[in-house]
Chains A and B, each alone.
Chain A
Amino acid sequence: MKRTLLTGNGAAAWGARLAGVEYLPAFPITPQTEIIETIARWIDFGEMDCRMVTLDSEHSMITAAGAAAVTGVRVFTATSSQGLLYGMEMLYTVAGWRAPFVLVNVSRGLASPITLEPDHNDILAARDSGFLQLHCATCQEVLDCILLAYRLAEDERVRLPVIVNLDGFYLSFTREPVEIPDAESVARFLPPFDPENLGFRAGAPLSEAVAVIGGTPYSYFRYQSHLAALNAVDVFAENAAAFAQAFGRTYQAVEAYHCDDAELVFVMMGSFATKAKEAVDRLREAGEAVGLLRPVLLRPFPAADFRRALSGKKGVIVVDQNLSMGKGGVLHTELASALYGYPGTTPVLVSFIGGLGGRDISAEEFYEMHAVTRQAVSEKRAPAPRLLYTEVELREMKKIQAIARVQGLKEQQT
């Protein structure tokens, strides 16, 4: 198999094409749009047998995606940021329909202020929706995760929609060498969608998503979805093994990098974790026993994998590219709840917030986070969460604010 230079968006489109997607409800939004444009071009030139329809909004788009999936076809769709939130009501709704399809989210910071560049507040807002979540760090992973996502979504033990997440700009518009598997191998790994009991047919009337009265049936159906999501931990591992056999690339729910002998471990998700990898290499060269854990699977949360990997570690450096206002980093909270109260898993957890709205995290900052955590371990107490921001940035910000003030005064005078 040859490797081709593809953007993350291009890799997402190839994932959908190889998965034999039959239906694409769409709506444009930066930085996702290239995905639907690429597929539209393939459809127009007869390279892909898929029906595409542009809806009036993401809310409608996700409704149509769920409705088509429960009617029994393989569905793909994509969005970003504001679009994901505009469709939020339907994310919860179609997950409750147990509609198995794949949605690619190209992460982008949320308004306000409005921005185009990435962080993870958009995707984490969908954390509790019932959609499963796979987080990618490279363009190759984007393509592969879409194939893994369909097999996961359609498995009869799961039957839930899956979001595959990639970071806007850093992955969406960055070209990397990607191995595009051949269609025959993909078809063997991912056979056509068998909807089994799903579908609206004249000969087999079906009422889907009817109202319930009272907490008893409501709780029952909600618990079913939760248990199905939990099943996805083992199903993902099975699928990843089959994937490795078919394509030679190995995926784990939590990717571990130099963790076995590490005393301190970075935990990060998405493309910025590749920056952490680089920092781990440099720190190791300087003699530090440090590693990295990166969740690929965020829903279901691979708690057991984290407990295993962090057992006996001294400190954990959690770098959240998101901010839950008034609380802090979401990944930090998730990790704390997974580790607390389990014997043998009592590292000091230190929380950092960085990379919001595409802000870079420099190598020096990784070294500093490592040093702060090293200190916390020796003091046996975690400091308050740190918001990454440099003095240079603060000076730059003051300058911008001064310009804004001058402009404001000019406006008043004219």
Chain B
Amino acid sequence: MKEKEPIKGYSQSYIKNVFRIIFVASIIISLAVIITGFLGYNNTKKSLIEKAKSQDIVFIVKSMASKIDSRISRAVETSDIFAKDPLNIEWVKGEEKDNGSGKIVLNKIKNIVNSYDYSNFFIAGVKSKHYYRANLDGNENNRSFIALSESNPEDSWFWKMLKSKKETELNLGYDTATENTFLYVNTIMGSVDNPVGITGVGMNLNEITKEFKEFKVGKESNIWMIDDKGIIQLSDIREDIGKKYNEFVPNEVVDKVENQSTDIVENVKVSQYSDENNKIIDYAYCKLSVSDWTLFYEIPRTESISLIDTLKTNTIINVILVLVFFMILFYIISRKIANPYKQAMLINMELEHKVNIRTQELKESNQKVNDSIEYAKRLQESILPCEDDLTRVFKNNFVIWRPRDTVGGDFFWLREIDDEIVLAVGDCTGHGVPGAFMTMTVNAILHNIVTTVNKDDPSIILKELHMQLKQALNKTSNPQSVDDGLDIAIFCIKKKSSLLYLGANLELYVKRDKEVNILKPQSKGVGYSYIDLKDSLYNEMVSIEEGDIFIVSTDGFIHQNGGVKNYPFGKKRLYNMIQECEAIDFNSMKTEFETTLEVYMNNEEQRDDITIFAFKVK
């Protein structure tokens, strides 16, 4: 395989363009991926905040509020039902002296505490100032009571309640010993203006506090129940209970919460503020329906949308993965697919394969043609006189017969009839196979002439040849026929004493001692339609002297190019070659001629068929 050549010109600029396109495409794709990631992240963040604000926070506050409300209103109901019970009222009116009723009332109290999750239940008479109480875990005597005294601060609630003229009152109390917040619901028995007793339930709000903890999202969020004085009454963090909530939140929030319309209960409002660290904190609040208390919930935004951090990381990882993926893809494309050199090599290999197949096909068909021509050569050689005939007829002779291709248009021909020798050297137009066809035709015509027409007059033979060849090639009748003919030199040698020569475009060189005579041809050719043979063709007669050398050359020799200027060999050189030849025997003369031609040709191709025929008669 050939060495790899550096890619030049067009292909180099092509590679540059491909890489430019890949580079631009990478940038566009990278930008697209980054923008998509950024937008996706932002949209998700926005909708997460939206959801947190409009749904999550609201949901927490709303559900907590309804839980607290339902719990308190149940207590209020229970207390109210008990306060309106006529049996109870009668029993208190009679200063609790009716033991029968007393038993039922106190049993009722006990049942309420045990059956429902109240901490205690009490009933107190206005007249007797007696306070009966059932505790959840108490097993004290049914009849025991505490006598209330106006001077005792612990009992002051009783007189406050009577003075307040409210049918129901809710009080919150925090028991530091048990760390429990209690809600007391007190209800006046009888009418507000003429009360006969007070009854009420004590309820542990611990359960609600527990639920606060469960509902809370995030570590830094707060859920408080704030009373009408702005004091935190319920919180999952014990330390916060009893404190004022404005210690924790800015005044603007306190203002908002306090200015809320009291008409619409359980209407959750959502807002946000920034704390001292500039952290955004979302908060929501709502009035409870049973009292002036407010449920307040706040959560830092970072926590409510803590999901977004994961999303951020995921988005960044996604973007990086996509970019890496595209980089790998482009690398593969540029290396494997778009690499023009590789492509070119692939195409080259494909083409080489095709060329190999074609070459093989051509080889085969060429071989067929060559085989056919090789056989044609055997046929052509068979019409040339054989070596034995030539040596028998002439004292000495040599032939240089070199068709340019395997077969050619040059030929020489010999017949010996009685003491008459007929020799012809010819050059038919064309070379190769068409030339060879012509030689076969001429061969047949010559044979016909010397056997049937004439064997001792070259002029008659030439005229006859001219005529018969035209007929043979249909030149007179067929305008489509080719105008082919030949150059020829015809010799009739009689009894080895005289030689008759007639040439058509072929000269005869006669070398006698060191002198060379040229006998000119009579015609420019034979067989051509443009040639009108003169009627008076005359033969050149040479009376042969001993040592006379006769040489005929077809134009292949003088046409052969070569030398310094790559000119044809020319007649002058041929003449000089014949004259200067000092060879004594014919073999070395042949060698000398061949060498001269070879040297002149140098490495040029043979241009035409070359024939030189030289002979000595005696």
Asked if chains A and B come from one complex, the reply is no
